[in-house]
Structures are given as C-alpha cells and as structure tokens.
Structure 1
Amino acid sequence: MTDGRERATGYADLFRLDGRRVAVVGGASGIGRESARALAAHGADVLVADRDADGAAETVRLALREMPAPGTSAGKVTARCLDVLDEAAVRAAVRDWGALDGLVVTVGTNVRKRISDYTAADFDKVLALNLRAYLTLVQAVAPGMAERGRGSVVGLSSMRAFQVEAGQSVYAASKAGLVQLLRTAAAEWGPRGVRFNAVAPGVVRTPLTDQIAEDPQWYDAYARASALQRWAGAGEIAGAVTYLVSDASTFVTGSVLTVDGGWTAVDGRYEPSV
C-alpha cells in the first residue's frame, strides 16, 4: 500500500491474504471455526488455537477443504492447543508462532443470571474470558506487529455491547469493555500501522447460544426481533472478519462492524399501522 491515496494492488486482490499469517484464537467451533475456514479460502496461513484440541483439529480439516486447487496460491492451516487464561502460555505461544499479520479472537462465555443472583465467581469467569484474555493477547501480539509496521487485530464483541436485556449484565459489560479496549489499542498502536476492530454479531447459532435455541419460544422471539427475522449462521460472520483482516479495510481502525441482521436498527420490530 502507498500512503493514503493510491493502492499498490488491484481491487480484484483486496480480500486476498496470500502470504499472510493469521492466528484465530477460539477457532475450535462456531464463529472462530468459520473465520478460520474463510481466511484459509482467501490464501492465508492460519493458526487455529483453542483449548479444545480435537475441535481445533476438526477446524483444520474443514479449512483445508477450502484451499484453492493445487497449483494455485494456498496457505497452510495448523492447530495449536492454547488456554487463553494462562498468561504465560499465551506469551510463549505467540513467541512460538512468530510474525503474525492478523489476530482474530473469538473466545467468550456467558452466565445468564439477574444481577441480584450474580456471584463473584460468575463475574470473574465472564470477565476473565471475555476481557482479560483479550488484553493478554493484545499485549503479546501488538508489539511485534508494531515493529513490522503492520497488522490487524479483530475481536468478537456483540450487539449486547449496545443493547441489553435482563440476565445479560456482566456479559454486556464485558463486550462493551472489549470495544473500548480495542479502540484504545487502535489509538496507541495506530501510528505504527496496527489496526484494531471489533465485530458485533447479533444472534448466531453457535454452542454459546444452545441454551436459547433449545427453547422454541425464546428462539422464535429472537428471530422475530431483527429486520431479517432469522438467526445468523456462524459462517455469516466470517465475511466481516475476513474484511477486517484484509487490505479491503486498511483505513478502518477503532471501529465496530455490527452484523446483527438489523436488530439494533429496528429496535424490536414493532410495526405501527401507518
């Protein structure tokens, strides 16, 4: 890329990731798995890191099927076992991975309780995975990217960072906190060429939402709440992740890309008779 006004590569290559190394942390299932598959399909070397070693290996198997035909540009996909709550293990893993062009973090958890029922242990569990793990990963990865003058970090927030409901207090707070953490990182490392952005999905069918999906009334209510009146598949979030890692978004940083089917736009889908 040239500085700001002219593009060194053609527009046909905007989303290509040939020669780029991208780590997907939380890649054993859900949005992380589909993001790894999408990144591999666009030519990236992908490291799939997760505490679930078997799930990460399955993601590698699926991602390899997305690779271009033999004789064309194709990256590699490998699995790494990683507990993101082990700070020393994270820093050691990042050293072992070497230079990264992109980092995608999709780890997260939720404890659905009203505030009056929340325990300190519940609070610590949600904040540890939804916020502290992201801080550790950013601290480990961003300096190396800054030394090379480039890099893109994408974190998975949620529409709950902006729009809440009963029982979502700490989860919503952690996702709002993640947005501000990434925005601050964008301010601190932006002058050295490193970008930080968040993707904020709406309701997506993943293992994290199994509790909701198993309740037909709950499932249907969530489907009706968005403009598209349905849930998303995890693969529908992968395009947003790929965009933010790629050269299609080189002037995008400190931003939140909302992928919620219009939920936050229509605010509950009440349609007056007008």
Structure 2
Amino acid sequence: MTSLDYAQMFRLDDRHAVVVGCGGIGAEIAAGLAAQGARVTCLDKDPATAEAARGRLPDGQARGHTAYPVDVLDESALDVLADQLGDVDVLVLTAAVNVRKQLLDYSGEEFDRVVGLNLRGTFNAVRAFGSGMARRGSGSIITLTSIRALVVEPGQGVYAATKAGVMQLVRTLAAELGPQGVRVNAVAPGVVETPLTRQIRDDEAWGRAYAEKSALGRWARPEEMVGAVCWLASDAASFVTGSQVMVDGGWTAIDGRFTPPTG
C-alpha cells in the first residue's frame, strides 16, 4: 500500500512556511500556502509589504501567521531571525531585482546590485534556513527563477545570468541536501502582470508581443504561480528535487514568434 494519503498529499497542515519577498507574486504565494494549512511567516525588506501580506492570510492570529522586516543581504540579521523563528518546513524565495540595460551600458554598481540581491541573497537565505532543515532531516526549498534562466533578449543579460546561476545553486543544493531529506526546486515564471512589468504592459506593442509569444496568448496573473509552489512544498512532490518547473504558458516550448502555414 502507498504511504501517501492521496486525499491529503497537497495539504500543508502543521507546517511552517517562510516566504522571503512578499510583494506581488510573493504575497499570492503566502496566501496560497496559508490556504493549504501552513503557518506562514512573511519576510520582506519593507516592513509594510511584509505586514500587508500577513494581513491577507486567513485566521492570522489564531493560526500564528507572522511578519518581519529583513534584508537578505544582512547575513547576521537573517541568522538571528532564523534562530528566532525556530523550525521551518518550507522556504520560498522570491526577492529579486532587474536593471533593464544592454550589457555595455551597465555600470559596475548596477551589476553588483542585481547579482547581489538575486544570487547572494538566495545564498544567504538558504544558508540561514536550510541548515536547520538539514539537521531535522526534512524540508522543501523553492526559489523563483524565470524564463530568463533559459532564454534571453537585449537588456536582460545580468538578470538572466543571475537566474541561470540561481538554478545552478538549486541543482547543487539538491545534490548536497538530498541525503538529509531536504528537497530544493525552482519555479520559473513567464511574463506576469506585476508592478515590475508595468513598463512593458504600458507599451501596447511590447505588451502584445509578450502575450502572443506564449502558447496561451496572454500574460500570467500572479496567482497562477501559486499552484506550482504549493505542489513543490507538499508531499505530492516528495520525489521531486533539483527541478525547474516552467510556469510560462508555453513560452520556452515554442520556437519563434511566427506561425508558418501548414496547409
């Protein structure tokens, strides 16, 4: 007989989930994890953003949902908070930044800022919370990468390099933490309607071109990233590690932006 309870395998009851980066997609992920029964801690550099995400969660006081400000580039603050929060079963990392410029126009400061948050921030957060998971012998770590981990366009070079780098960290962490029972995976969104993509969607031709690139012919909504994250967090994905789940509407599956005649 199977050891999985098929009726409950997607549930996260009695688990503590930490979401790092709670604006936009992160806020939806926090809400989704809570809806599956998890006790959620919302972390963000901006205290108001963390608290706003926590405020959306059902039965916040009764369920013990919490919110804290923290900068993932502050290693000591992360370590203190990780000790304060105690056992963490699920860690979701969404914090990232992009500077859209061609590479030859990039400044050193801009390069360091993008690489610092996207790569070093991921490293810092995993080190702070992953060690406890390894000691306990269980846990699920989920990072958000991007279609840019696989495909690029002008102006996305440094961001794309960091997202590809995060995926290599995911694979290495899966190999290193797997023997301790910790799974590490990534979710790669396509183009999503968030405040960060407003510049693109405000340009009618640019926004339409992005929509038409996917097989579904539209942009994603932030809540459409939640299902993949909750699955990876749950027992339903108990044998999934080192993987990158594409939630891109078929963007990376399609060759080119032209449909040739087939008749």
Instruction: Pick one of 63, 79, 89 that aligns with 1:91.
Output: 79
User: Is 1:165 aligned with 2:153?
Assistant: yes
| CA distance in 2 between partners of 1:213 and 1:114 (Å) | 20
User: Is 1:20 aligned with 2:53?
Assistant: no
Task: Report how far residue 143 of structure 1 moved.
Answer: 1.5
Task: Report how far residue 51 of structure 1 moved.
Answer: 1.1
Aligned match of 2:95 = 107
| CA distance in 2 between partners of 1:16 and 1:94 (Å) | 24
| CA distance in 2 between partners of 1:183 and 1:111 (Å) | 26
Query: Helix, strand or coil: the match of 1:205?
Result: coil
| CA distance in 2 between partners of 1:53 and 1:240 (Å) | 27
Query: Helix, strand or coil: the match of 1:99?
Result: coil
| CA distance in 2 between partners of 1:130 and 1:169 (Å) | 13
| CA distance in 2 between partners of 1:167 and 1:9 (Å) | 46
Query: Helix, strand or coil: the match of 2:239?
Result: coil
| CA distance in 1 between partners of 2:235 and 2:15 (Å) | 11
Identity of aligned residues (%): 52
Task: Report how far residue 75 of structure 1 moved.
Answer: 3.6
Query: Helix, strand or coil: the match of 1:152?
Result: strand
| CA distance in 1 between partners of 2:165 and 2:125 (Å) | 15
Where does the alignment leave 5 or more consecutive residues of structure 1 unmatched? 1-5, 68-73
Deviates more, 1:140-149 or 1:193-202: 140-149
1:14-53 CA deviation, whole Å, 9 max, x = no partner? 11000000100001x1111000000000000000000121
Aligned match of 1:33 = 27
Aligned match of 2:56 = 62
| Paired letter, 2:107 | T
User: Is 1:122 aligned with 2:110?
Assistant: yes
4+ residue stretches of structure 1 with deviation over 4 A? none
Residues 1-274 of structure 1 aligned to structure 2 (within 5 Å): 7-27=2-22, 29-64=23-58, 75-274=63-262
| CA distance in 2 between partners of 1:255 and 1:270 (Å) | 30
The alignment covers a number of residue pairs equal to 261
Where does the alignment leave 5 or more consecutive residues of structure 2 unmatched? none
Output the aligned Cα RMSD: 1.3
Task: Report how far residue 140 of structure 1 moved.
Answer: 1.1
| Paired letter, 1:148 | R
| CA distance in 2 between partners of 1:18 and 1:174 (Å) | 33
| CA distance in 2 between partners of 1:254 and 1:88 (Å) | 28
Does the CA-based 8 Å contact 1:226-1:268 persist in structure 2? no
| CA distance in 2 between partners of 1:173 and 1:9 (Å) | 38
Task: Report how far residue 139 of structure 1 moved.
Answer: 1.0
Going from structure 1 to structure 2, the CA distance change for 1:269 and 1:7 (only over 3 Å counts) comes to: farther
Deviates more, 1:87-96 or 1:226-235: 87-96
| CA distance in 2 between partners of 1:268 and 1:55 (Å) | 38
Query: Helix, strand or coil: the match of 1:96?
Result: helix
Task: Report how far residue 209 of structure 1 moved.
Answer: 1.3
Q: Which TM-score applies when normalising by structure 2?
A: 0.96
Task: Report how far residue 110 of structure 1 moved.
Answer: 0.3
